[in-house]
Amino acid sequence: MTLTRPVLCLVTDRRRLGARIGSLPDARATTDALLAQVTAAAEAGVGLIQVREADLQAGALVDLVGAIRARVAPRGTRVVVNDRLDVALASGADGVHLKSASVPVAEALRLAPPGWLIGRSVHSVEEIARGVAVGADYVIFGSVFPTQSKTAGWETAGLAGLAAAVQAAAPLPVLGIGGIGVDQAGGVARTGAAGLAAIDAFLPPVSGIAETVQEGVRRLRIAFDSTLPPFLT
């Protein structure tokens, strides 16, 4: 499988999805909505799904990752698990995304099967300079802009900070994260970033999950720049 620029990474948050589309009767309905969201995103060209559902126990998370991968893998979309290396290995995911306080990249590489993707979150150029992402396939840098995923007062880097991170990490691909939607995607592209990761940018309004997610992805691709060449194989 190949990920091509722009790399659009959907970060899952089933609770925020449920709040966006309205009250859902039970956990099964919420999971079904999440599966509809990721399926629509994959069909529209999203190349990477990061499953970030920290409240789930390991067994439930393994099941969810497996269900997501079954939906999106036929469309060439890869699935990585946020932070939980054990779950990523047990679920047959395509890789793991390591938080800044997670296990070192070297440890993940030691356990990773052939062809796995390993991502790493970084929050400063200093982290990159310390080599925390050496051996990873990509890094996610942020927060670029204010976002409700972070507490009030969380420091943001802005486009200048993202551009500095891109330069410091080169040739390692960098995805921007934090408050990035269609209106910000063009600016992110101009920093040299390989793509973006987001929760809210992929959330549908109250109804019409498939149609609205796919239209949102289309607008992101146009705003970013869908003509750049492949960078991950």
Angstrom distances, CA of residue 47 to CA of 85, 86, 92: 20, 23, 17
At 3, the amino acid letter reads: L
Closest CA to 95 of 81, 74, 111: 81
Measured CA angle at 80 (ends 76, 86), to 5 deg: 135
Output phi, psi for 106, to 5 deg: -60, -35
> What's the pLDDT score for residue 53?
97
Rg of the chain on CA atoms, in Å? 16
- Bond before 74 cis per omega within 30 degrees: no
Read off the pTM: 0.92
Q: How many domains does the chain have?
A: 1
3-state secondary structure of 96: strand
Q: For residue 7, what pLDDT is reported? A: 93
Cα separation, 62 vs 81, whole angstroms: 9
- CATH number for the domain including 22? 3.20.20.70
Q: Please report the pLDDT score of residue 151 as a whole number.
A: 58
What is residue 119's predicted lDDT score, i.e. its pLDDT?
97
Q: What DSSP letter does each residue of 43-84 carry, written as one string? A: HHT--EEEE--TTS-HHHHHHHHHHHHHHHGGGT-EEEEES-
CA distance 194 to 184: 14
- Tell me if 11 sits within 8 A of 197, measured CB to CB: yes
CB 8 within 8 A of CB 201: no
Q: Tens-digit pLDDT profile for the chain (233 aa)?
A: 445 678 999 999 999 998 888 766 788 888 999 999 999 999 999 999 999 999 999 999 999 999 999 999 999 999 999 999 999 999 999 999 999 889 999 999 999 999 999 999 999 999 999 999 999 999 999 999 998 765 566 689 999 999 999 999 999 999 999 999 999 999 999 999 999 999 999 998 766 788 999 999 999 999 886 544 444 44
Of 65, 37, 56, residue with least CA distance to 198: 37
How far, in Å, CA of 181 to CA of 222, rounded?
Answer: 12
Give the residue numbers spanning the domain of 29: 3-232
> How many Å apart are CA 115 and CA 95, to the nearest integer?
8
Q: How high is the pLDDT of residue 229? A: 43
pLDDT of residue 2: 46
Residue 194 CA neighbour count, 13 Å, CB half: 26
With residue 166 as reference, give the H or E element that holds it: helix 158-169
